[in-house]
Amino acid sequence: MTQVAHEVTGSSWLPFARRRAVRFLTSLWVLVTAAFLMIHLIPGDPVREALGMTASPDVVNARREALGLNDSLVTQYWHYLGGLFSGDFGTSLVSGTPVADLIGDRLPATVQLAVTAFLVVVVVAVPVGVVMAVLTRGGRRRGAELGFTSTSVVLAAIPEFLLAVGLVSLFGVALGLLPVAGRDAPGSSVLPVLALAIGPAAVLARIVRVELLSVLGNDFVRTARAKRLPARLVYVRHALPNALTATLTLGAMMLASLVAGTVLVENVFAWPGLGSTIVGSIQQKDYPAVQGIVLVYGTGVLLVNLAVDVVLALLDPRSTIREA
């Protein structure tokens, strides 16, 4: 293993990093181009839509000129790329404020919601999956296995939006235990975090159980048991680390899906993040704001996928050799 790691470090990491960098930059360019074309492919005049049908032609044309929308498509594209490199995401058609300021104000709330939900998923799913694997290994406790599988499938199948509405109805309206709107009240993040985390936690717990059951049948686990090591050491030190590769991959992908899931959940709970902002921008035909937020969401997903590839390569250096 040491020799393999040395080979990867010495000869395979550079091609691996180059491939990942090219893939990331290509995907980012496609994302940026698609976001730019968004405003040009939508039927109608976005400026007219944003200002309203009562706005005079002179006002509409002045706004188009100020935004550079009267230039050629190629000129607009190069200006758009240059603006992105300098942190300029454009100007809101509705408020006239820079989109970068809008994103900067709302992004922390979305990151807080997604990261907290991800931590809840990991903290809940890994122990539950381990306990269920230990309880049901070797075909034991069929009833517990059936109950766990059925419950996790049902929870994973419920959309975040319906979970959010159900949590609001139960804990907010019926019981009055938790706030259902905003971010400032104590406990205001509990329900939106639960709405995001319940489904992914159910999926991840099942994956942990399946992976751990597979690892428990390996020779090195039987050897550890033959040495009469305490069960806690067998499971935690020997079995669990070898079962976490697939768990880490899925968990990191879930982080990207959790970020996307915030769009609907934020609107249910009036959470002041990017999710509620993009919905409002779509309703107001504020396409530059929509462009900027789509770029942030898409770039976040690409960065998470890149981080997953790097972490998996660190955990299993042989994977970089297999790709060479």
Mean pLDDT score, 192-216: 85
What CA–CA distance (Å, rounded) separates 67 from 74?
Answer: 15
pLDDT at residue 302 tops 70:
yes
Domain count for the chain = 1
User: What CATH number did the domain enclosing 121 receive?
Assistant: 1.10.3720.10
Mean pLDDT score, 245-267: 77
Mean pLDDT score, 196-216: 84
Alpha helices in the chain (DSSP H): 2-7, 13-41, 46-51, 57-67, 73-85, 99-136, 142-157, 160-167, 190-216, 219-226, 231-233, 240-268, 274-283, 287-315, 318-323
Phi, psi of 86 (to 5 degrees): -100, 5
Looking at the domain assignment, is residue 240 inside a domain? yes
Give tens-digit pLDDT for 31-63.
999 888 877 776 666 676 666 667 677 777 777
Structure tokens of 211?
């992976």
Q: What percent of the chain has pLDDT over 70?
A: 77
Domain that holds residue 144: 107-283
CB 87 within 8 A of CB 98: no
Looking at the domain assignment, is residue 168 inside a domain? yes
Looking at the domain assignment, is residue 254 inside a domain? yes
Give tens-digit pLDDT for 150-170.
888 888 888 888 888 889 888
Looking at the domain assignment, is residue 141 inside a domain? yes
What CA–CA distance (Å, rounded) separates 227 from 20?
Answer: 43
Give tens-digit pLDDT for 236-247.
665 666 667 667
